[in-house]
Structure 1
């Protein structure tokens, strides 16, 4: 299960930021080795305080383990021919790293593996970066031929995911009094990306929009809705409109009730617990937006756990090594490693399947 990861303790915050700002597949900066380290070091004290305010660290690993346990229990019942199923977590910028997951898989005798992105929508800087690092980790650990692989590289329109998000919106709207509910504007918020990534032809904006459209239909949403982007960092231009700017503009026109729906995040982490709940919440209330709330994250929602298992089961039944879109490089791609594949790929399901997971912050 693959994602960016997040610092579980305050002592892990600065190393996490140093790895993030050193990664050119995520953030491209001039003199990256120097400027990236400078930005990470400068931001570390502030970011430590943010993590301290949400309990002293990111809960992403805890939620990923809970999701993985539930997913595998369901898979053992759904697909006994490929049982037993076991999951491993592979984070980009904090432990457990891809190397840790691969070594654990080898020690457990795993021979068949599914690289399962925990970002529902594809981006070269998220799923692509995590997969590139996983394939590099095979070389670093000398385990190039230890496993037969397939890839779940996107699932933002999967019926189970869409239903889960629709259910979360219903729960979010239930936080409002009956006479307020029709006046609620639903604001979908996704993690932003540097415009340089988008300009290369990255699929992320289109895939986010597709998820929003499917969720709106599934929820039979009668409320007005909009889409914005959050979590910009560093001195580069990012995809907008920003969620912060949107809140200011909505408040200026007198909108009192706004329900934020994190459409690209599958569990609580700093972007939901700190950025939306605390930072944006305080901003909204200071501007007179009295009904600013957030839809609950998917976390251990039953529909979502069912969806994770169904996604993997459908993938195994298909016998396909990856989606049709996986091999389609961005038109402006300059990364020779992008859309790479390991030496051993599968075309049919086999027994003893592990699910390699990389979680978000």
Structure 2
């Protein structure tokens, strides 16, 4: 009988239908229900994206399924079977539910990973803390992958996407070197800089690695999807960056949202709708790279770092 190793695959989470949006938003707001205006705004965003809310959750489900298949294909130890469990930050199954299910299934050894390549104590660190606390209740021995932002296969997958879109710019008559490449990620509160958090540095390292490999010299980093709080968030925001580029008379822009690994609201709405609208106003041609989703190179990246974490424990 094979020894089962649990893999807790953690991500932000998303509602599965519009009637779940209020509970989801309330959880994000730490139990404080949103106002009617706030709720309507979020629902409107979900309704605006192609296919509505449903593909978002399906994307993550598909990633978890593909990862389990890749892990069991790649594992050298044939006496081991990797079993993946989802753990979501703001929707069911929550992180704690995933750990609880492992315990019910008799899992005693597990690896945790977040579907985000870059570490921040405010993001990935928070996921790990919740998993650790629940695992301690059940005596499950966990090891965690904190980041994988420079894994060669991740860099290759991102590079392929940048190169493919630059080819498309050339097909519509733009000069490759004239396209400004904007690498982007979800903003976080500025206070992480005072904490010596590696998030920003890791994102810049990934950006440079991809740019170097793709032969891109004309690039910069920008932020997106900042929260609306009294405290300042990392900037500049991509909408402001686009306006600045317009002043510079940049006409062609490629956005590479390297902080996101699948098609979620921050990509399908914040970039494909909101940023595209601003680009349209500025008479600017804007494209974005395709999301990683279940790309085999991304699945192999995750598989590699999970197996390494398990073997090193």
Question: Is the Cα contact below 8 Å between 1:58 and 1:270 reproduced in 2?
Answer: no
Partner of 2:141: 148
CA distance in structure 2 between the partners assigned to 1:243 and 1:124 by the alignment: 23
Q: Secondary structure at the match of 2:93?
A: coil
Q: Secondary structure at the match of 1:125?
A: coil
Partner of 1:70: 66
Question: Is the Cα contact below 8 Å between 2:111 and 2:309 reproduced in 1?
Answer: no
Q: Which structure exhibits the higher relative contact order, with contacts defined as CA atoms closer than 8 Å and separated by 6 or more residues?
A: 1
Question: Is the Cα contact below 8 Å between 1:119 and 1:264 reproduced in 2?
Answer: yes
| Correspondence 1:20-59 to 2 at 5 A | 20-22=28-30, 37=32, 42-54=37-49, 55-57=51-53, 59=55
Partner of 1:85: 82
Q: Secondary structure at the match of 2:204?
A: helix
Partner of 1:101: 98
Question: Is the Cα contact below 8 Å between 1:4 and 1:126 reproduced in 2?
Answer: no
The CA RMSD measured in Å over matched residues stands at 1.9
2:143 pairs with 1:135: no
The Cα shift of 1:218 comes to: 2.3
TM-score (norm 1): 0.78
CA distance in structure 2 between the partners assigned to 1:256 and 1:199 by the alignment: 36
Partner of 2:272: 277
Question: Is the Cα contact below 8 Å between 1:230 and 1:243 reproduced in 2?
Answer: yes
The alignment of Structure 1 onto Structure 2 pairs a total of residues equal to: 300
TM-score (norm 2): 0.90
Moved more, 190-199 or 13-22: 13-22
CA distance in structure 2 between the partners assigned to 1:21 and 1:93 by the alignment: 10
CA distance in structure 1 between the partners assigned to 2:83 and 2:167 by the alignment: 36
Question: Is the Cα contact below 8 Å between 2:135 and 2:142 reproduced in 1?
Answer: no
CA distance in structure 2 between the partners assigned to 1:137 and 1:19 by the alignment: 18
2:110 pairs with 1:113: yes
**Superimposed CA distance per residue, residues 65-96 of structure 1 (whole angstroms, 9 cap, x where no aligned partner):** 22222222222232142621111111111111
CA distance in structure 1 between the partners assigned to 2:224 and 2:68 by the alignment: 32
Question: Is the Cα contact below 8 Å between 1:21 and 1:40 reproduced in 2?
Answer: no
Question: Is the Cα contact below 8 Å between 1:120 and 1:155 reproduced in 2?
Answer: yes
CA distance in structure 2 between the partners assigned to 1:157 and 1:58 by the alignment: 31
2:298 pairs with 1:304: yes
Q: Which runs of 5+ in 2 are unaligned?
A: 1-8
The Cα shift of 1:167 comes to: 0.9
Partner of 1:315: 309
Partner of 2:201: 206
CA distance in structure 2 between the partners assigned to 1:278 and 1:107 by the alignment: 43
CA distance in structure 2 between the partners assigned to 1:59 and 1:153 by the alignment: 27
Question: Is the Cα contact below 8 Å between 1:18 and 1:41 reproduced in 2?
Answer: no
2:162 pairs with 1:165: no
Against the structure 1 CA distance between its residues 18 and 41, is the aligned structure 2 distance closer, same or farther, given a 3 Å change threshold?
farther
Q: Secondary structure at the match of 1:244?
A: helix
CA distance in structure 1 between the partners assigned to 2:96 and 2:159 by the alignment: 36
Aligned counterpart in structure 2 of residue 126 of structure 1, from 123, 126, 150: 123
Q: Which runs of 5+ in 1 are unaligned?
A: 23-32, 320-346, 348-361
Moved more, 191-200 or 253-262: 191-200
CA distance in structure 2 between the partners assigned to 1:58 and 1:161 by the alignment: 26
Q: Secondary structure at the match of 1:59?
A: helix
CA distance in structure 1 between the partners assigned to 2:133 and 2:141 by the alignment: 16
CA distance in structure 1 between the partners assigned to 2:163 and 2:207 by the alignment: 15
Question: Is the Cα contact below 8 Å between 2:113 and 2:145 reproduced in 1?
Answer: yes
Aligned counterpart in structure 1 of residue 247 of structure 2, from 233, 238, 252: 252
Q: Secondary structure at the match of 1:176?
A: helix
